[in-house]
Chain A
Amino acid sequence: MITSTVPKVTRRAQARLGIFMVAPLMILVIVFFLFPLGSSVYYSVVDFDGVTANPPFVGLANYVRMFTDPEVLHALTNNLIWIVIGTIAPLVIGLLLALMLWTVRRGSALYRLAFFFPFVLPGVVIGIVWGWIYDPLSGWLNVALRAVGLGSLVTGWLGNPNTALYAVLATAIWAGFGFAMIIFLSALRNVDTELVDAARLDRTNAAQRLWHVILPQIMPVFLMVTTITLVGGFSVFDIIFIMTNGSIATNVLGTYSYSNAFQLNNISYGTTLALLITALSIPCAVLLNRLQRKLSLQGTSA
Chain B
Amino acid sequence: MKKVSLLGVGAVLAATAIALSGCTGGAPASNSGSNQITYLIGQPDTPAQLTALKADMKNFEKESGVTVKLNVLPSDTIRTVLQTQLRSGSGPDVFGYDTGAGFAGVLAKAGLLYDLTAEYSKKNYAIYDFAKKAVTFDNKITGIPDQIEEVGLYYNKDMFAKQGLSAPTSLPDLEASLAKLKASGVIPMAAAEKEGYEAGWYLSMALASRAGADTVKGLIAGTGDWSSQDVVDAIDSWKQLNEKGYLPPSVTSIASQNGDALFLSGKAAMYPSGTWLVQTIDSTAKFNAGFIPFPGPDDKGISTTGLGGGIFMSANSKNPKAALKLMDYLASPEHGKYEISQGLIPTFPVSTDGIKVSPLFQQVLTDTAAYAKGTGQVGQNIDVAETDVFNKAMWDGFQAVFNGTMTPTQMAKSLQKASTTK
Contact = CB atoms under 8 A, between A and B. Distances in A.
Interface residues of B, number: 45
B62 interface: no
B193 to A, nearest CB: 7
B420 to A, nearest CB: 15
A248 B4 contact: no
B416 to A, nearest CB: 18
B352 interface: no
Contacts of A263: 79, 388, 392
Contact of B254 (A13, A14, A136): A136
A247 B399 contact: yes
Nearest to B399: A247
Contact of B392 (A13, A49, A51, A264): A264
A234 interface: no
A161 interface: yes
A23 B6 CA distance: 12
Interface string A243-258: 0110111000000000
Contacts of B79: 262-263
Contacts, number: 108
Given A10-B1, A49-B106, A134-B253, A158 B194 contact: yes
A289 interface: no
B389 A160 contact: no
Nearest to A261: B80
Contacts of A14: 1
Contacts of B3: 13
Contact of B9 (A19, A135, A156): A19
A175 B122 CA distance: 59
A137 B106 CA distance: 41
B80 A16 contact: no
A283 interface: no
A211 interface: no
**Residue of B196, B252, B389, B396 with highest tally of chain A CB at under 10 A:** B252
Interface string A43-68: 00000011111000000000000000
A76 B83 CA distance: 29
Contacts of A23: 9, 12-13, 16
Interface stretch (B225-233, B243-251, B277-285, B336-344): B243-251
Interface in A140-198: 155-161
A158 B80 CA distance: 25
A158 B252 CA distance: 8
Interface stretch (B47-55, B107-115, B155-163, B206-214): B107-115
B250 A159 contact: yes
Contacts of A286: none
Contacts of B139: none
Nearest to A16: B4
Given A20-B12, A51-B110, A159 B87 contact: no
A228 interface: no
A136 B254 CA distance: 7
Interface of A: 10, 13-14, 16-17, 19-20, 23-24, 27, 31, 49-53, 131, 134-138, 155-161, 244-245, 247-249, 259, 262-265
